[in-house]
C-alpha cells in the first residue's frame, strides 16, 4: 500500500459488536470496509472475492485458524495485515513477525491507535 487516501479494508473479527465498531472507525478514518469475516476461512474467501488493500485481523479468532495464521495466508495472497489483540504476548508478537504482519494494535482500539497503525502501513 502506498500513499494516503481511501483503502479497501477487510475486517476479520469474531465478535460482532467489535467488528461493527471497527467498521465505523474505518469509515471515520476515510477507509472503506469491503467485507467483515468472523473466521480465518471466511476471511480467505472474502479476500479472494473482494481483493482488499489491507486486513485488520483479531489474533484470537474462533475456528480452526487463528488470526496470525490467517494473516500469513492473506500475505501469501498479497494482502498486508494489522493484527488486533487484547494481549500482546512475546509468542504472539514473534508469530506475527513471521507472518509478516505490518503492525500490532492492542485493545482498547481507538481512532488514534488505528490511525497510527494505518499511517505506518500506508507509508510502506
Tell me how many helices (H) and strands (E) the chain has.
Answer: 5, 5
Residue pair 83/103 in contact (Cβ under 8 Å)? The answer is: yes
Of 24, 38, 31, 23, give the one whose Cα is nearest residue 4: 31
Q: Where are the alpha helices (DSSP H) in the chain?
A: 16-28, 40-50, 67-76, 90-98, 111-122
Domain residues of the chain, as ranges? 8-122
pTM: 0.89
Residue 44 phi/psi, 5° resolution?
-65, -40
pLDDT tens-digit map of 57-116: 999 898 889 998 999 999 999 999 998 987 777 777 777 777 777 888 888 889 999 999
Domain 8-122 in this protein, CATH class: alpha beta
Amino acid at each position: 500500500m502506498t500513499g494516503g487516501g481511501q483503502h479497501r479494508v477487510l475486517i476479520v473479527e469474531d465478535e460482532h459488536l467489535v467488528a461493527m465498531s471497527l467498521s465505523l472507525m474505518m469509515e471515520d478514518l476515510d477507509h472503506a470496509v469491503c467485507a467483515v469475516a468472523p473466521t480465518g476461512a471466511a476471511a480467505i474467501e472474502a479476500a479472494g472475492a473482494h481483493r482488499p488493500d489491507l486486513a485488520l485481523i483479531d489474533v484470537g479468532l474462533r475456528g480452526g485458524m487463528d488470526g496470525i495464521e490467517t494473516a500469513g495466508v492473506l500475505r501469501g495472497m498479497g494482502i498486508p495485515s494489522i493484527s488486533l489483540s487484547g494481549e500482546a504476548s512475546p509468542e504472539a508478537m514473534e508469530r506475527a513477525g513471521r507472518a509478516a504482519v505490518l503492525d500490532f494494535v492492542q485493545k482498547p482500539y481507538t481512532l488514534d491507535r488505528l490511525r497510527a497503525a494505518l499511517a505506518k502501513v500506508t507509508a510502506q
